[in-house]
Chain A
Amino acid sequence: MLLTWIYQLLLLFFSVLIVYDIFKEKSKLMQLTAAVALIPFLLRLLMVK
């Protein structure tokens, strides 16, 4: 259980970084790429897949 919490904290941390990156990137392609990369992080964070 502790391992799961640590894992979810790491996922949350990286999800926040990706969201920050979506706003920070100047290239629209890079923004879109970061957005797509966020999906598996969210699915794992919510323990869906």
Chain B
Amino acid sequence: MNKNLSPKTNWFAVACLLLVLMLTLKAILDFRKMWIEEDLLPSSGLTRFVYLHEYHAPLEETYGDTKVYFFEGKKPGGTVLLLGGTHPNEAAGFVTAYLMLENLSVSAGRIIIIPQANHSAFTHNDPQEGYPQFFEIEGVRGKRKFRYGSRITNPVNQWPDPDIYLHYPSGQKLAGNETRNLNRAYPGRPDGNLTEQVAYAIVNLISEEKVDIAIDLHEAAPEYPVVNAIVSTARSQDLATEAALELAFEDLKYSLEPSPYNFRGLSHREWENFTSTFPVLMETANPIQGRLRGKTDEQLILSGQDKMYQVAARLGVLAVPYDSSGLALNLRVARHAEAFHKIVEVFSRNYPEQAIAFSGFPHYFEILEHGIQKYF
């Protein structure tokens, strides 16, 4: 033994090691909590579910594999795909998908829901952002606890990040960690990294299931210009424009944003390029994602109330109206829900042979009146 190791030093070292083991165990238990999936309770309208690996077999038994739920009507019609959880730190995106999953009934056509598109990104969060791991909704079926994940795939499932992410197939250069961002990975590739394979499987699903409309739900910081927005491509712009106009008649303002031609890897851009669906992406404004926010906790996810954003609103630096009432999850989910209703309504009117009819999924005013709690 080293002569410097006196018995006294050893005891302190042993105490240090025990402390380390206890802290490590506590950290392991805390982090592993996010690997436990929440119970989602599909409505009786669910006709079947499969896993995403049905569309790309190598995803089986990986953390990229995720559930795909089918709601199929008795009458024939078109097919809509709804994606939540592309970014699991954008709560209204996946909560809208959960709410639809638990309440939907389809009578004509099909609605396919992937509530946790980037399944791996739900298994971790960004603690250095001060983000909570979970948030709770006191629903009619009891208290529901949902994970609040990360924008990107868990590095435990996909690593190392390159210094520079080269998008396939364009060669576009982005920061290295964007290689784990599902919404920069489309159209994906069969032998790519985990995130690229998830993107590849979703593109395959859209083609194989002949999806007519594919909708990707997101949120962004209130100071980001593309919020309260519907993003559409050349193919889907008429559909999105008609929907946005009709929403405006209901006094709901959505800005229409064109999908950029030169920004590659985005869902709408590559669904346009590599499938024949009508691609749509929707954004609401969420203060917990903003750089101007103050106290960061579960309450901010739910209420969207933040004093710093009130100051920012007075200074005129936000892209959306903001006051002390905040931007509650109820409101953000209601906006996504109403835009979904309107897009499907416009599509069904314009393509009557492909009409999609459904019930159970609430409208904007119903959600604002009763809260999302009524539907969980």
Contacts and interface: CB of A to CB of B under 8 A. Distances in A.
Contact of A35 (B17, B32, B159, B160): B17
Interface string B253-272: 00000000000000000000
Q: How large is the interface on B (under 10, 10 to 19, 20 to 34, 35 or more residues)?
A: 20 to 34
B31 A48 contact: yes
Interface string B1-39: 010110001101100110110011001100110000000
A35 to B, nearest CB: 4
Nearest to B6: A26
Nearest to A4: B159
Interface of A: 3-4, 19, 22-26, 28, 31-32, 34-36, 38-39, 42-43, 46-49
A39 B13 CA distance: 15
Contacts of A32: 16
Contact of A24 (B5, B16, B19): B5
Contacts of B32: 48
Is chain B's binding surface mostly helix, strand, loop or mixed?
helix
A7 B295 CA distance: 37
Given A3-B160, A48-B32, A39 B17 contact: no
A46 B28 contact: yes
A24 B28 contact: no
Closest 6 CB pairs of A and B: A35-B16, A23-B13, A35-B20, A42-B24, A22-B13, A49-B31
B110 interface: no
Contacts of B156: 47-49
B124 interface: yes
B13 A31 contact: yes
B241 to A, nearest CB: 45
Contact of A49 (B9, B19, B27): B27
A2 to B, nearest CB: 13
Contacts of A28: 12
B278 to A, nearest CB: 40
A31 B16 contact: yes
Nearest to B35: A48
B160 to A, nearest CB: 7
